[in-house]
Amino acid sequence: MRNLLWKEFLIEWRSKQIVISMFVFGLSSTVIFALAFQSSSQLVHKFAPGFLWIIILFSSTLGLNRLFSYERDFEGCFSWISAPTDRGLIYLSKVVTSFCFLMISEFFFILPFVVLLGISIQFSIPQFFIVLVLGSGAIVSVGCLISGLTLRSQLRDMLIPILLFPLVTPVVISATKSTMYIFENRPINQWNYWLLIMFTFFMVYGLLGYLLFDYIVEE
């Protein structure tokens, strides 16, 4: 597992394709939303949580499209068949690295998002961070499984968003609702069930991907 993680981080450190592409998309989308709704601060505050998670969802799709690109381009996936290792660890390494890349890109474009949209920072930062972790982790765990399933498909770039968006719709709704309540400074006991939904998706799809990735590789 350590070697797999080191390989993924080293490749990204040398290429810088995933993080930069997600950051640029997130920042450009933020600027578009800020300019489109600058005439009405009430609309911005009302729809800001939805804008944020739409940006995160689309940014994660860019990263998922590049997730298995080297294995696909250099036929590296065939080495998984003969490798004396648990293939589920390959899936977990992809989840961990994709999650880290997404969180790094979020760290860089969320501050401009808050500033440009004029969102008040009088809310709980730890609660907001928890929502980001659970929501991003749930999206990535589902997305890595779909990315592995579509690895050899010629329509991979189209299939990933087509399959991903319906599956993560409950996650995006839960994350949007949680973020809205955090911006409104509501007590966590009034909306903690949304956190449970995101946590459930994170754990279920994470375990499901770990168990099924062995059969996905063989197929």
Number of H helices, E strands in the chain: 9, 0
Query: Rounded to the nearest 5 degrees, what angle is found at the Cα of 17, between the Cα atoms of 96 and 6?
Result: 40
Confidence of residue 2 (pLDDT cuts 50, 70, 90): confident
**Average pLDDT rounded to a whole number, residues 126-141:** 92
In the block, tokens 């997305």 appear at 143
Q: Hunting for tokens 């589920």 — which residue is that?
A: 88
Specify which of 27-36, 51-60, 86-95, 140-149 reaches the highest per-range mean pLDDT: 51-60
For residue 17, pLDDT over 60 is answered with yes
Contact assessment for residue 179 and residue 110, using Cβ atoms and an 8 Å cutoff: no
Task: With a cut of 60, say whether residue 78 has pLDDT above it.
Answer: no
pLDDT of residue 22 exceeding 60: yes
- Lowest mean pLDDT of 74-88, 138-152, 174-188, name the range: 74-88
- Which pLDDT belongs to residue 70? 65
Q: What confidence category does residue 33 fall into, taking pLDDT thresholds of 50, 70 and 90?
A: confident
* 83: pLDDT strictly greater than 70: no
**Once rounded to an integer, what is the mean pLDDT over residues 123-145?**
91
At 74 the pLDDT is 57
* Largest Cα–Cα separation, the chain: 60
How is residue 74 annotated by DSSP? Answer: T
CA distances from residue 203 to 46, 135, 142, 210 in whole angstroms, order as listed: 30, 12, 10, 11
pLDDT surpasses 70 at 166: yes
- Paired tokens of 16: 């810088």
How far apart are alpha carbons 186 and 52 in whole angstroms?
19
The mean per-residue pLDDT over the stretch 109-136 comes to 88
More confident: 85 or 126: 126
